[in-house]
Chains A and B, each alone.
Chain A
Amino acid sequence: MDISIVSLIATLIVAATPILLAATGELIVEKSGVLNLGVEGMMIMGAICGFIAAVSTGSPLLGFCIAALSGALLSLLFAILTQYLLANQVASGLALTLFGLGLAALLGHSYSGIKPPSTPKIEWFGLSDIPVIGPIIFNHDLMVYFSLFLVFVVWIFLRFTRVGLILRAVGENHDAAHALGYKVIRIRVLAIMFGGACAGLGGAYLSLIRVPQWTEGMTAGAGWIALAIVVFASWKPWRLILGAYLFGGVTILQLNLQANGFDIPVSYLSMAPYLVTIVVLVIMSADRTRASINAPASLGKIFHASS
């Protein structure tokens, strides 16, 4: 057994980043009172669209932009269904996932086995040579820092800005927000599209950096885990980081155990991230009063203005 703690932490950050990105987007969506279960579908669409864009232009950055755009476009379908056509959010989210998985497989048909252009790591003027801290903090690509920055921005937005307050009001009580003259539907559609863009970025991180390659169904439940992490975080931005990195840690640990020929068959080790997600979900939901205080009060409810 030789597992270096430093490289473990450095890689767990990479493993956690796609989930963190998707979960941050979903947090905003849920704060506006909408439950979008289509994260998995938007992630995989981001993964393939970002991949295609990056491979054909040679620019990973452009890949990420296209991925965000494709995620947002796909989420627009969900927004139309749930906000204008008043469809059930659970069913629409499932439809989005099934559709996204199929469409991504169709688009990616001829892209398996290709290597995407590599994304450079940020140059911190030699800071990455510092022992321990260097590889952990100063040896990553742009998206890792961006994901953390995004959490920070979302925190500021929800806590200190007027628009953030309106968004929360819409999520807590859409009828009251409507009575105050806020455009409930418009705000929710924008929130859903932000969520889609973030999920798309998360997916592209998987196909362009984490794996990096395109395989069918490559998200393997990452979108669902992102949904669970929002619950774990009790809808508080900073806790998303904790949840995502915890998940990343479990993933990396089991991969390391696999690589070191640990005496448990690989298939059982691969269950670990999913089992941990269930355990975490159970722990966070067990205290019913706390769970119901933190969850946005209008979450998943349909809004239709009477006039």
Chain B
Amino acid sequence: MSPTYSRREFLIGSAALAGGVAFGSYSLGVLATTPEPNNPLLTGLGPESATFNPWVKITPEGITLVTPHADVGQGVVAIQAALIAEEMDLELAQFDTDFGPPSPVYYNGGLVEEFAPFMATDLSPEAEAARAAALQWLKEQGMQMTGGSSTVPDSYTKLRVAGAVARETLKAAASKRTGIPVSELGTKAGAVLLPGGATIPYTALAAAAATLAPIEEVTLRDPSQWRLLGKTMQRLDVEAKCTGSLQFGIDLVMDGMVYAAVKLNPHKGAPMTGFNAGKAETMPGVQQIFPVTNGIAVVATNTWYAMKAAEAVECQWAEADYPSEQADHWAMVEATFTPDQADKIWRKDGDMEKALATAEVLEAEYRVPYAAHQPLEPLNAVALVRDDSVEVWTGHQIPQGVEQMAAALTGLQPEQATFYNQYSGGSFGHRLEFEHVRYAVEVANKMRGTPVKLTFSREEDFLQDFPRQIGMGRNRGAVKDGKIIAADFHIATTSAIRSMFGRMGMPSTDPDSQIPSGVWNMTYGIPNFRTTAYAVTGLSPTSSWRSVGAVTAGFIGESFIDELIHAAGQDPLQARIELCTVDYHRKVLEAVAKMADWDGPLGNGQGRGVAFVESFGVPVAEVIDVTATDKGIRIDKVWVAADVGGVLDPINFENQVQGGVVWGLGHAMNCELTYADGRVQQTNFHVHEGMRIHQCPPIEVMGLANGPKIRGIGEPPVPPAGPALANAIFAATGQRIREMPFNKFINFV
């Protein structure tokens, strides 16, 4: 990874490379304009074993499929394996999976949209050329990264090709052994099928296959022939997660392992100026207490002893470089709305000033606070440092980053660092950050030869969380003759992307497309339409939070569109359908209207709202029904339609959509992080609980397949949830809520 980069420069500089890249060509070799990194599975490959590419390994004992995208609960081990197994003719019980070693060969090509700033609906040659160039650049960078709902887009073709290459090579090996032409061989259930019905298991062919060059030119099966994909599948990790036998990172145990806890400066990023461990050192189970970057660590014989002693250490902290009080954070957001501080004008259709001068102008201001990630498995990692090696076990979405940090902290060479990825108990963006890695390695480096398990207490995890961006929208618009003629969005938030990449040593000054995500890419045919983004600086560090910018901009945008539609005297859903200019987007709106049996207002204290946001290339429409009861707002039901271009795993798709809606609603209703005395005031779930089961409505889900590309579903259901609820509350009560969390303004049952 280069220390600094510019997406703009990259796009100009690498556009010339685009000509050599062909989409849809089913060969792993076609994309190789630079030398292929070696297949890491060749290292330590035993006798009579074969690997045809970095995703498939066969030994006499069994078959291993490598699933390099991190599984943080979104089910990507299962879908990656299913993509390979589909083409390889494996049953789901016939293989093991492994996260594999960190390697540039596992670069994530699914991130192209993030590096090619065109609307996802723009399929012009210019946009496609930019995406092709971005893909080439991602390959050259070789960065393995899970995020941006990109696992399925990255894997969809690549892993099916990997499975097909394995299948064809195994058939070639069977042909060589039996003398039967390949054209007369088939494959089924982990074996090559001979004419007459006899079979040779893949495991028995590994040794012979290993002597052949992999057959790279393959034909992928037509989706109509799929056995697994698109059908109901049993997710591979479900049973182990229901018996307690699935081992998360936090469950690892090693011989001689010690347990650690940390107490770090809650003024994030600022140093510790002094500490007194006198009392803590005498507490039970405590072995060592020493300073680490910006705080102290306690090593003990049990995690609880370590946490209790860490609490008892008295520390003096320096102040952070961001304001200590929440009101000053908001003031700095407000002060960013000046033309000279614009990050970028992302879209400018028509003549805004002229349009606003011809009609009455509607103005509204929106606010979205900081919110925490807080997956239920707290940050933790196991590290073991020796004089010639450093090893780290934890769940992480950027494997090479873990190895680079481990090497840098120990003074060892990058090739002496090894990372073993683990199943994670959630992430929502939290495991794109490195605090658990940093401190586990720092502690283990002081105790070389001893494995250390570091666990953050929930309170410490909240205090050190780099939260969701804070932001505001200042919107103007106008209606005339029952139609919206102008919508002018000004959106100011901190840049989660710049903050995060800055911490990784990859500072960027390019405009952050996440700030206006969900607004600048609206597909409403409003003649005068403008989106201006502002990046707020000098505030708390922030980081990617499930759906990133679209959760803030989506609320700012779709609430205000609703206001304009009401001002125009139109039906909120019918108006959106009529405004929509892209066919497969409109079909999403029409689908949700049909699902919810949308037929105008409900009356009798009930209200229904709709919101429609496209993020990560996925248009999602949500309708929410609420009832205003004596005890507050009750959410009665949610309907969701989303177009990912084809649903590969229907059960997990539904689960991800429902979970995304719960995430979006729960935080919009109930959650914020606020600063006082320079530290976050909310440090456990009783004051930042998201949603609990009693608030969760039935959520009906439909996946559509009209979109032109296969997309991921982890994040896109989140952004419409908040505005759909706010719009429903307006319909039920006449109260327009323009700030999260909504429970500051209205009660929920």
Do these two chains really belong together in a complex?
A: no
